[in-house]
Structure 1
Amino acid sequence: MTKYKIALGLGGVVFAAGVAWAGATINIDQKGLTFSAASLAVSKGDVVSFNNNDSTSHNILVTGNGVSLNSGLQAPGVSFKAPFLKPGMYQVTCGIHPKMKMTVTVK
Structure 2
Amino acid sequence: MTVPTAAEAPSLAERIAAVVTSHPSVARLHGGIFGDVATYLPGRRLTGVRVGEGDEPVELGVVLLLDRPIPEVVRDLRTAVSGMCGGAAVDIIVGDVALPGEPGPTDR
Task: Give me the TM-score of the superposition, normalised by structure 2.
Answer: 0.28
Relative to its length, the structure with more strand (as a share) is 1
Task: Give me the TM-score of the superposition, normalised by structure 1.
Answer: 0.28
Q: Answer 1 or 2: higher relative contact order, Cα 8 Å, separation at least 6.
A: 2
Structure with larger Rg: 2
